[in-house]
Amino acid sequence: MKELQQLRPSGPAGELQETVRRFRPWFHNLHLPDGTETAPDHPLGDFPSYKWREISAALPENLSGWEALDIGCNAGFYCFELALRGARVTGIDMNPHYLAQARWAASQFGLADVVEFRQMQVYELARMNKVYDLVLFLGVFYHLRYPLPLLLCQIKGGGRMLLVIIFKEYLPGNDFQGNDFQVCQD
């Protein structure tokens, strides 16, 4: 499987960096194919790459044939990682700013054909008949007033959900104060 960093850049470097600036603020520090990072000064460090290293072992290396849903996908970091393992991925988020980042980044990584982004409230999922082999629900649970029904309805029989309720870095006392760009949207 490919690594995100091994993919080829598209477009001149100056133009790309200007686009990254225009899309600020970034919550995901994406490593673009030319080496540009979207949030190199992120208060959590190289987020969420280091988080992915911790949790990715919970998933098969080869996700060919899998359909995955990333709830609260933000700029699409996890969608891209799953796509590189062979999955077809749908990322949903209610924030159009993050989705614009995600769509642009998908084109930079050459993954626009296998990752689809939709602007949706998580509660709209309950009205869809679609089920998935894998559902990522990372760092979103604590934003929601009524999260529990969501945990029941989107996974195929035998499918998996990767659920992180809260990353310890977000907890009071962990010095993280720069999260004014991830306001709760219930």
Ligand X SMILES: C[S@@+](CC[C@H](N)C(=O)[O-])C[C@H]1O[C@@H](n2cnc3c(N)ncnc32)[C@H](O)[C@@H]1O
Among 121, 146, 149, 174, binds ligand X (CB under 6 A): 121
Contact between 154 and ligand X (CB under 6 A)?
no
Minimal distance in Å, beta carbon 124 to ligand X? 8
Window 61 to 90, contacts with ligand X (CB under 6 A): 72, 74
**Residues 135/159, Cβ–Cβ less than 8 Å:** yes
10 vs 100, which CB is nearer to ligand X?
100
Q: Which residues lie closer than 8 Å to 171 by C-beta, 6 or more apart?
A: none
Would you say 32 and 38 are in contact if contact means Cβ atoms under 8 Å apart? yes
Residues 124-143 that bind ligand X (CB under 6 A): 138-140, 143
Write the CB contacts of 73 (distance below 8 Å, at least 6 apart in sequence).
79, 91, 92, 93, 98, 99, 102, 117, 136
Closest to ligand X by CB, 8 vs 168, is: 168
What CA–CA distance (Å, rounded) separates 19 from 160? Answer: 36
User: Which residues from 15-54 bind ligand X, rule CB under 6 A?
Assistant: 48
94 binds ligand X (CB under 6 A): yes
* Residue 160 near residue 133 (C-beta atoms within 8 A): yes
Q: How many angstroms separate the most distant Cα atoms in the chain?
A: 47
**From 32-40, 94-102, 125-133, 151-159, span contacting ligand X (CB under 6 A):** 94-102
Question: Where on the chain is the footprint of ligand X (CB under 6 A)?
Answer: 48, 72, 74, 93-95, 98, 121-122, 138-140, 143-144, 182, 185-186
